[in-house]
Structure 1
Amino acid sequence: MKTAVLVSGVVLLGLVGGAAGYEAGRLTEAAPTGSGSNDPTLPPDTPTVGHKLKTPKPNTVPGLKAKGMQFQGHTFTVRQRPRPSVRISIDTPEGWDMTTSKSTPGEVKFLDPLRERGVRVESGFPPDLTPEEFRDKLVGGLGDSQPPENDLRILEESSAEIEDENGYPRSVATLIYTYIPNETRRYVIVRWIATEGDKATVEMSITGLPQDADGLGAVLFEATKTVQLKN
C-alpha cells in the first residue's frame, strides 16, 4: 500500500477528527473526537537543527463546515494485482467528483470543486495487519518521507471501535498530522478500518486546510460508518 504522504502529494487529499454534531442528511449525532483518545505523551515533531522551516502562506478559502453538509452514496471496484477485485460502497460529500487513475487501480479519490479537499479510499491489499499495525508502520516512515523544512507535525495517534451504519462494531486506527508540501499548510488524517474481523481492509485519507476541521470531521465520520466491502 502507498503511504498517505505520496497520494497526490497529499495536497489534494488526510483530517481533523473533532467534528461536533452536524446535519448530514440522515445523521445528526455527534462525531467522535479523533476516533479515540489523544496520547498526551506525543510531542510535536522537532525539525532537524540547521534546516530553515518553510513559512506557510495563509489560504483565504473559507473553511469547510459540517452544518448542512449532504452526502451521496457511491459504489466502485478497485484491484491490486494479483489479488482479486474488491467492490466498495461509501458515502462522500455531495458534489465531490470521483476520480480514478490507471496508475493507482487500488484506490479512488473524491475531490471537492475547489480541489482543496479530498477523500482517498484504498482497498484490495492483503488484510494481514491490524489498523494499529498499519498506522504504526506509516508513523515509522513518515519522518523520513518529508524533508525537515516541510515542518511535519504529528498531532494525534488514536484507536477506537466505531459502529457502522448497521450497528456493527469495527476497529479503526487514526493518524493526524500537518505539513507544508508547497506554500500552504495541509491538514491530513489517515484512517485504517477493519470492516470484518480484526485486520484492516480499507485505508482512507482525508485532506484539507486547517480551517476545514469542522467539515472534514463530518466527512471522516460519515465515510467510516458507511464504507463496506461488497461480495
Structure 2
Amino acid sequence: MLTPRHHALLATLAGMIAGTAVFGTVLAINGNFSGDDKKSSQVASSQPPQTPSNGDGLQADSLQFTSQPFGADDAPATAEVPTGWKSATGGTRPKYVDPTGVWQIRFDTRGSSQSPDQLVDNRARSIEEQDLKVISRDNGTLIYTYTDKTRGPRMGLSSFRPSEDGKRTLVEITVGGRPQDEAGLRAVLQHATDTLQLTGAAGDNRPN
C-alpha cells in the first residue's frame, strides 16, 4: 500500500519525465545548437570574396602575352598583348581590353609625317579631360593622368614610334589604366614595343 510519501515521490518523478519530454520537443522544433552553428558558417563562407582595394595595381610579373595580328591588308602588323585581353576594334586602330574593362592597349598603324615629339606635343594639347596632369613627355612618349567622370582617376601612356630617320612616326601605342597600375602599364607598353613587327611602308594616313 502506497503511503502519502510514496505518492509525493511518484508525482515528482512524473514531473521530471514530462519536463524532459517538453525540452526534447523544443530541440526537435528549433534544431540543435551545433547544427545551427554549422549552418551559419556555411552561409558566411558562401559570401563572394572582397573586391581588390583601390591600392592594388596591375602587377607586371603576373602578365603573360599573346601575339595579335592587326593593321591594313597591304601593311600588316603584329605585337604581343596580355593574354586574355579581348579585341574591341580591329584594322589599323585595334584596341584590346582586359575582361574587367580597367586596362587596355590600343595601336594606330596609320603612320604620320610628323615626328614623335611633334605628336607628343599635339596629344598633350588635345586631351580634354578633367584634372589633366602631364607627368613626362620624353623619347616620344607622353605619360599623363586625369579624372574620368565615371571611372575616377586614370593614367595614359602614349608612345609614338619613329621611322629609321626619326622624322616620321610609324605607329602609336597607347596603354590605359589607373595611376596605381603604372608599373604594369609600363611593362605592357614596353613588351608591345619590343615585339611590334610592321610589314610594308607606313601609309602616313593619320589626320594630323
Give the structure-1-normalised TM-score: 0.58
Question: What do the CA deviations read for 1:81-113 (whole angstroms, capped 9, x no partner)?
Answer: xxxx43111011111112216xxx530001111
Q: How much has 1:138 moved relative to structure 2?
A: 1.6
Partner of 1:92: 81
In the alignment, which residue of structure 2 is the partner of 1:191?
A: 159
The whole-number CA distance in structure 2 between the counterparts of 1:213 and 1:139 is 18
- Aligned match for 1:111, one of 85, 93, 97: 97
Q: Separation in 2 of the partners of 1:220 and 1:96?
A: 14
Q: 1:72 to 1:128 in 2, by over 3 A?
A: same
For residue 110 of structure 1, give the secondary structure of its aligned residue in structure 2. strand
The answer on whether the counterparts of 1:66 and 1:214 sit within 8 Å (CA) in structure 2 is yes
Paired AA for residue 85 in structure 2:
W
Which residue of structure 2 aligns with residue 135 of structure 1? 120
* Partner SS state of residue 190, structure 2: helix
The structure, 1 or 2, with the larger RCO (C-alpha pairs under 8 Å, 6+ apart) is: 1
Task: Give 2:27's aligned residue.
Answer: none
Secondary structure at the aligned position of 2:96 is classed as: strand
Deviations for 1:145-182, whole angstroms, at most 9, x for unmatched residues? 23xxx1111111101xxxxxxxxxxxxx1111111121
CA distance in structure 1 between the aligned counterparts of 2:191 and 2:163, rounded to whole angstroms: 14
Equivalents in 1 of 2:62, 2:154: separation in Å?
Answer: 24
* Superposition deviation, residue 61 in structure 1: 7.4
CA contact (8 A) 1:190 1:206 kept: yes
Contact 2:155 2:177 in 1 (8 A): yes
The residue type equivalent to 2:58 in the other structure is L
CA distance in 2, matches of 1:78, 1:110: 17
Letter in 1 for 2:121: D
Q: Is the 8 A contact 1:78 1:108 kept in 2?
A: no
Change (3 A) 1:123 1:195: same
Superposed displacement of residue 195, structure 1: 4.9
Instruction: State the match for 2:132 in structure 1.
Output: 152
Q: 2:183 matched to 1:207?
A: no
Contact 1:195 1:229 in 2 (8 A): no
Gaps of 5+ in 1: 1-58, 80-84, 160-172
Q: What is the root-mean-square deviation in Å for CA atoms of aligned residues?
A: 2.1
Rounded Cα–Cα distance in structure 2 between residues aligned with 1:69 and 1:221: 13
User: 1:73, 1:91 within 8 Å by CA — same for their partners in 2?
Assistant: yes
Unpaired runs of 5+ residues, structure 2, are 1-52, 201-208
Output the amino acid matched with 1:194: P
